[in-house]
Amino acid sequence: MKLFLITLIIVLTFSITAQNKIESIVFPYQELHVHGPTVVELPNGDLLSAWFQGSGERWADDVAIMGSRLKKGNTEWSSPFVMADVPEFPDINPMLFIDSRGKLWLMWYTVLANQWESSLPKYRISSDFQGDGAPVWEWQEVLHVKPGNKTERGILPNDKFVNGIKNQFDEYEKYLENVIFPLNPDMKERYAVRWIDFKNRIDSLAKGENYTRSGRIEKNGETINTQLGYPVSRRLGWQTKNKPFILNNKRLIVPFYSDGLSCSLFAITDDWGANWQFSNPVIGGIGIQPTIAIKKDGTLVAYLRDNGPAPKRIQYTESNDNGLTWSIARDTELPNSGAGFDMVTLKNGNWLLVFNDTEEGRHNLTAALSDDDGKTWKWQKNIENDLRGEKATSSHYPAVIEGEDGTVHTAYSFHRKDTVPGKTIKWVSFSVDWLKSK
């Protein structure tokens, strides 16, 4: 009898643990391109997800932001509905979150000229968002990104943004010489020419040399008329991917990246969008699409996608002044195949990361947990792991949140290659206990 009870307890424990992972696709497989999901838990316990959908990405003018709802306790999502659509323009990379006032935000960007460099970030706000279908939007605004000093008569010497680029490059070169090259001796010669070309190109764009016009410099009481650059490349082209971080229930820190400038930037507001300020650019290893966590001592840490050369690693940058200034991006030990990922700081202070745990491909999607501010990731478990080679399904571009009850929710692009139609968004929920279990 005693042996039977022990066996029964073990079986029940295993069953409960197994049931702590639930999954479903958000809508039937289709041929259209569906990508870049986001997910948020609403006050009533429902989930709201959004993604972009169309015949392509930046080159497809039919791309719109779509959404779907999952009622609390259900596993079947509602029929999709439109969340945002600028007619005849691509709308890309939505992110959803609820601010400390209880208002729902949708942020995304519209591609004005079918190139990433022409991206224009936008946001909508709603107080009525728990009914069926799309939220009732009460406010919409363009987020005008204006880093650096004023440029009314051109970009002047000692411009803050230009200096920020230079300072990051200088510091990153020291990091390459002292850390990266000693670990990868054959990399230095291959990297040298590319690095110089890359640095010169970004420096030129920061100075506005691709858009020079007549300008004016005031020096020692004298006005000097000359040709100066203007800041088109640093005011357009900023792109969203991961959710913002809300610090102390008031400061909203929005992670941006620029494919044109190959860098990341953080937009900051202390009054929910009435006024914005901008961090220094984070540049060097082409780290993009930041996702923010917080250490137990209050230091902010952003992990970045590696769009640069090998070694392919998740990068990190830190801020000790609540998001205003950030360090250069350095490599972690976590692999990254040049694919987007997301992270969340759990209520107990631990970090949970969902990423492609590989240097090549997007066939593997892993959840990882750290209880020491990212120093180690003691618990890792596959959410997806398709080992069929060229036929493997791509599971990528996840968004991850923690629900009010501690359940983890992740939504990601799920693209099958062995069948048509084969594209959808997939949702998986699991407990931390499931992640820690064998």
Domain ranges of the chain: 26-142, 160-229
Using CA atoms, how far apart are residues 399 and 425, in angstroms rounded to an integer?
11
Contacts of 192 (CB under 8 A, 6+ apart): none
Where b means 16+ CB within 10 Å and e means fewer, 411-437 reads bbbbbbbeeeeebbbbbbbbbbebbeb
Neighbour tally for 47: CB within 10 Å: 23
**Token pair listed for 349:** 């202070």
**Token pair listed for 70:** 């999952």
Where b means 16+ CB within 10 Å and e means fewer, 154-179 reads bbbeebebbebbeebbeebeebbeee
Q: What is the average pLDDT score of the chain?
A: 95
Using CA atoms, how far apart are residues 267 and 247, in angstroms rounded to an integer?
13
* Predicted confidence (pLDDT) per residue in 294-352, tens digit: 999 999 999 999 999 889 999 999 999 999 999 999 999 999 999 999 999 999 999 99
**Token pair listed for 224:** 């000097």
In which region does residue 397 sit, left (phi positive, over 0), alpha (psi from -120 to 50) or beta (all else)? Answer: left
Inform me whether the pLDDT recorded for 13 exceeds 50.
no
Inform me whether the pLDDT recorded for 15 exceeds 70.
no
Using CA atoms, how far apart are residues 166 and 176, in angstroms rounded to an integer?
15
Inform me whether the pLDDT recorded for 3 exceeds 60.
no
* Predicted confidence (pLDDT) per residue in 220-258, tens digit: 899 999 999 999 999 999 999 999 999 999 999 999 999
Using CA atoms, how far apart are residues 42 and 129, in angstroms rounded to an integer?
8
| CB 338, CB 287: distance < 8 Å | no
For 378-402, what is the mean pLDDT? 98
Inform me whether the pLDDT recorded for 5 exceeds 60.
no
3-class secondary structure, 389: helix
For 184-209, what is the mean pLDDT? 92
Q: What is the DSSP letter of 239?
A: B
Sheet architecture: strand order including 351-355: 342-345, 351-355, 364-370, 379-385
For 160-176, what is the mean pLDDT? 97
Which CATH code fits 26-142?
Answer: 2.120.10.10
Where b means 16+ CB within 10 Å and e means fewer, 79-100 reads ebeebbbbeebbbbbbbbbbbe
Q: What is the pLDDT of residue 185?
A: 86
Using CA atoms, how far apart are residues 192 and 404, in angstroms rounded to an integer?
49
Q: What is the pLDDT of residue 9?
A: 36
Q: How confident is the model at residue 19 (pLDDT cuts 50, 70, 90)?
A: low
| CB 338, CB 306: distance < 8 Å | yes
Using CA atoms, how far apart are residues 29 and 413, in angstroms rounded to an integer?
11
Percent of the chain residues topping a pLDDT of 70: 96
Helices 160-175 and 187-206 cross at an angle (nearest 10°) of 170
Percent of the chain residues topping a pLDDT of 90: 91
Q: How confident is the model at residue 391 (pLDDT cuts 50, 70, 90)?
A: very high
Q: What is the pTM of this model?
A: 0.95
In which region does residue 298 sit, left (phi positive, over 0), alpha (psi from -120 to 50) or beta (all else)? Answer: left
Contacts of 1 (CB under 8 A, 6+ apart): none
Using CA atoms, how far apart are residues 20 and 12, in angstroms rounded to an integer?
12
* Predicted confidence (pLDDT) per residue in 50-80, tens digit: 999 999 999 999 999 999 999 999 999 999 9
Q: Which of 260, 301, 307 is nearest to 287 (CA)?
A: 307
Q: For residue 390, which phi and psi values (nearest 5 degrees)?
A: -65, -20
For 116-138, what is the mean pLDDT? 99
